[in-house]
Structure 1
Amino acid sequence: MSKILNSGYYLTKILFIIVIWTTTSLSILSAQNTATKLNAYFSAKARQGDFNGVILVAEKNKILYQKAFGFADFGNKQLNTMQTRFPIGSITKLLTATAALQLVDKGLLTLDKPVKFYLNEFPYPDITITHLLSHTSGLPSWDSVFKNAIQDHPNSIFSNNDILTEYSKQNIALVFKPGSMHEYNNANSAFVALLIEKVSGLSYETYMKQHILVPAKMNNTFIPKSPFFNYTATERKNVAKLYISHMYTPIKENTDTIRSNKNYWKKFNFKGFGEIITTPEDLFKFNNTLIAGKILTPSTLKIAQTAIQLNNGVSLPRGLGWQVEMDHILGKIAGHGGGLTGLSTSFIYQTDTQRLVVVFDNTQQNAEDLSVDALMILAGQSLTPPGNDIARIYGHILLEKGATYARNELYRLKQDTTHYYSSEQQFNKLGYDFLRSGKISQALETFRINTELFPQSYNTFDSYGEALFKDNQKEKALIMYQKSLELNPDNENGKRIIQELKK
């Protein structure tokens, strides 16, 4: 090789290295910039009391951002960490659906076959596995089906086997014809768990561990013996406690003190619908394993993440175990949310970009909204870190110093748009918070001030009317609903209530 050719070879090699180094450096800088934006936004949310939990943001196989905020145990000042485990609520349904679809891949289940083909006692011959997975079965709720059993056996604990027996015994009419409508119902997933047991020959817990948790290396995930609020001492280790967060006070209400919750979930010890406990990283591992085709074939996953159609051809934002939606900015997003008293969780996957956001909040803030916010930031949307929420400040002052003082402070703070923000939705949320807590006068004043702040919103008058109606102030309630209808003639709920109030 000549010296000229040899020098050209080395020059080309050097240029190639420079290009690779530059591309990698830009990629690292971009990731760091994204993480900085995410951290600024979610740190602000946490400071304002709108986030207490953990978040993980990933793209393809790489975690871009993960951080824990607030307390897992407020009483003992134990911080949340990325290793803190959380109940995930109805995200469990997504994992249960994945297990059932594995059995479809293996030929042990067929989506369009009647459930009765596999479970002889099942009393509804027209319901298929597709109907169960998409919540279009029309099944009555287990509360209505078990009403007589609870009266006859008040101290009994009911399991998945009991659910089949009781539905067969009561044979209550379906709420609607299978496939004609959609109604979210936990019973659907409990029956899917039964199908998994029936055709696999394993208990639901054993099957999930062997075929979902172990293959995905979800080492920090487990299924408790009893769902929600009834964990054993061993199960409670490193699991976040759940709290009701009120907007009008920083004091959190520990859900462990709510005896009715404990009793309800001890009695209905069903599996498959919401009981799994895990970490964001384990769900990240689950998603990676899933999209790699290691626990489900790509073709079956595609079907699961495709919006289904009702009998009349209308498309629903649901797949098979997945919530599926189209956003004008984000495109197709698929996932699932979960929630119960003191808990809100979200698992959202943006299919085109392979971006994943997992959010758990143990003070019941809206995890799904937070997940979408994260995806918007990744998509380059400018989301300004929130300032101080005037609704929270107003609620505290209203409770402590009364309506007049609170209103004056509200309008004073409202002028400082740099440090404070007012939101119709936040004031509405505060009103309902007061209402649920039995603080009726404060609720009514909050809803009233919301109509004053946002006089062109039909919903402010609708909510104020609802609160007045609940306080038996029917004449004032009628006026509010009529105003709501003036602003939005399509408010069907308002029309219905007006008819009721005029009787």
Structure 2
Amino acid sequence: MLRQILQCLVLVALFVGNVQGQDKQPQFAALFDSLKNFNGSVLISHQGKLLFQKAYGIADQSTNRQLTTESVFELASVSKAFTGIGIMQLKEKGLLSYDDSLRKFFPELPYAGVSVRHLLANTSGIPDFLGWTEEEINVNAKNTNAAILGILPKKFAAVAFAPGLRFLYSNTNYVLLASIIEKVSGLSYAEYMRKHIFLPCGMSNTVVSPRYADKLPKDYAFDYAWDGSENRFLPADSLKRYIHYLSGVTGAFGVISNTADLYKWCRALNTNLLVSEATKKEALSPVKLASSGETAGLYPGLPYVFGWQLLEDPPVSGDMFSSGNYGGYRSLVVNKVSQDQIVIILCNMGETSDVISLMNSVEEIFEGAPVSPPDEKEMRKGIKLSSEQMRALQGTYTTKDGTFPPMKIRCIGNRLYAKFGETMEQNIFPESADTFFVTGTDGKVIFNRNNQGAVISLSLNGAGMSQTFFLNQ
């Protein structure tokens, strides 16, 4: 009798949970239907049931093709979580150890002391390649991982700090991990992902593909970014947001998928289809920094492991998320194992919507709390300046004490670009002759002049801070 009562209670709990989730379907629809500028695809599930799945907006401006729930998007850094699973699988098979040295696989690299674990946690100290320009790499080629590995020791003769000492988010780490997968498995990264992850999960619309492939996947969503000079959305490539000469690189980015396939992937991970529970538990354990004893991560309280950020520190539930931001693409995969909730948001005009703010609204609906309106960004509008006016702003700007990397400003055609240290070069758009902005941020670059009208410095303002950089003469 007691067993029957307990079984009935379990059934009631499951039924109530499912009904509660289903009751929220109209709220999810109302939330996303109310957004004026959201351009993307969303999927929300609870306890294995799809509560909401819908696509909004344009997939291809040139043909006016609309997005569908089958549309595939570039996942940007969510790709790192796939790379992380590949490493887990090889470790589970005994083909590598997290403590293996990077030089075991690539003895030509000069980074002594860097292990696979350091790469996974972004604590290797190896700087990022993503900001390389024509000074470092052939910009007329579709460079691959092999090209990156060939340039690395010439560009970075040593690590920036002792491995394990600090956290430094670097795409280079996951390019190296993808290259280790290839060396250990004997397969290309794309083939390994297809054979060992995509096929077992039933992810029929997911591929590793160069952005400039001869044949793009079916229902491909092109990405668009705001041009603050033209004051309209243009293909992101035209604004230097996605660099074509790095389109053959894999591991850090390069996976293309849709919401339905990503849902299958999360379910497979949660049910231990891809790796065992023991392997997963070991991998998803926070790493402590040698310098401070704090947890390695992008933000306090959000440990970074294997391409995921954990929602707890120390982790108890296994709740985690992975996000990506590249060109016009924004991707967010939230896997709340403790509540059996999966939320996937993919955008291809990402500057119009803050996916984190959207996720906060989704959580409020799940919790039955009042729903805060998500941020819908107004695009900042600029003016046109002549090339002569912008060329007068060119140069390398540095701080007096050298505490910040240099800021390089250059004009190409009728556009001005800013490059901060080793970061990617960014378009900056004029709102006056001396004040420029970066879309998607509240930041400003203000050029300062002397009494004769010559530029002598710039001020970088944003997030309540200001820093002055002086023009090198």
Task: Kindly report the root-mean-square deviation, in angstroms, between the aligned alpha carbons of the 2 structures.
Answer: 4.2
Matches of 1:149 and 1:199, distance apart in 2: 29
Unaligned runs of 5+ in 2: 297-302, 384-425
Structure 1 residue identity aligned to 2:120: L
* Residue 270, structure 1, aligned to residue 249, structure 2: yes
Asked if the contact 2:41/2:347 (under 8 Å) is kept, the reply is yes
Matches of 2:130 and 2:31, distance apart in 1: 41
Matches of 2:124 and 2:196, distance apart in 1: 26
Select which of 255, 258, 281 maps to 1:302.
281
Q: Determine helix, strand or coil for the equivalent of 1:314.
A: coil
Matches of 1:258 and 1:144, distance apart in 2: 15
5 Å matches for 1:91-490? 91-142=78-129, 150=137, 155-168=140-153, 172-224=157-209, 226=210, 228=211, 230-232=212-214, 234-245=215-226, 251-258=232-239, 261=242, 263-266=244-247, 269-312=248-291, 313-316=293-296, 317-326=303-312, 333-365=319-351, 366-385=354-373, 438-441=429-432, 463=443, 466-469=444-447
Unaligned runs of 5+ in 1: 1-8, 400-434, 448-458
Counterpart residue number, 2:40: 53
Counterpart residue number, 2:31: 41
The structural deviation recorded for 1:102 is 0.5
Q: Determine helix, strand or coil for the equivalent of 1:140.
A: coil
5 Å matches for 1:7-86? 26-27=16-17, 29-45=19-35, 47=36, 49=37, 51-86=38-73
Calculate percent identity across the aligned residue pairs.
25
Q: Determine helix, strand or coil for the equivalent of 1:352.
A: helix
Q: Cα 1:470–1:297, aligned 2, differ >3 Å: closer, same or farther? A: farther
Asked if the contact 2:203/2:264 (under 8 Å) is kept, the reply is yes
Q: Determine helix, strand or coil for the equivalent of 1:468.
A: strand
Asked if the contact 2:130/2:171 (under 8 Å) is kept, the reply is no
Structure 2 residue identity aligned to 1:271: T
Moved more, 174-183 or 244-253: 244-253
Matches of 1:78 and 1:299, distance apart in 2: 45
The structural deviation recorded for 1:326 is 3.4
Moved more, 121-130 or 375-384: 375-384
Cα deviation digits, residues 310-346 of structure 1 (max 9, x gap): 113111221232122339xx98741211111111111
Cα deviation digits, residues 339-373 of structure 1 (max 9, x gap): 11111111122232132111111101332332343
Matches of 1:71 and 1:303, distance apart in 2: 41
Q: Cα 1:332–1:206, aligned 2, differ >3 Å: closer, same or farther? A: closer
Asked if the contact 1:305/1:334 (under 8 Å) is kept, the reply is no
| Greater helix proportion | 1
Q: TM-score, normalised by structure 1?
A: 0.71
Matches of 1:259 and 1:475, distance apart in 2: 27
- Structure showing greater radius of gyration is 1
Asked if the contact 1:194/1:204 (under 8 Å) is kept, the reply is yes
Q: Determine helix, strand or coil for the equivalent of 2:117.
A: helix
Asked if the contact 2:101/2:114 (under 8 Å) is kept, the reply is yes
Q: Cα 1:144–1:386, aligned 2, differ >3 Å: closer, same or farther? A: closer
Q: Cα 1:308–1:73, aligned 2, differ >3 Å: closer, same or farther? A: same
Counterpart residue number, 2:74: 87
The structural deviation recorded for 1:187 is 1.0
Structure 1 residue identity aligned to 2:446: L
Matches of 1:279 and 1:123, distance apart in 2: 39
Matches of 1:231 and 1:357, distance apart in 2: 29
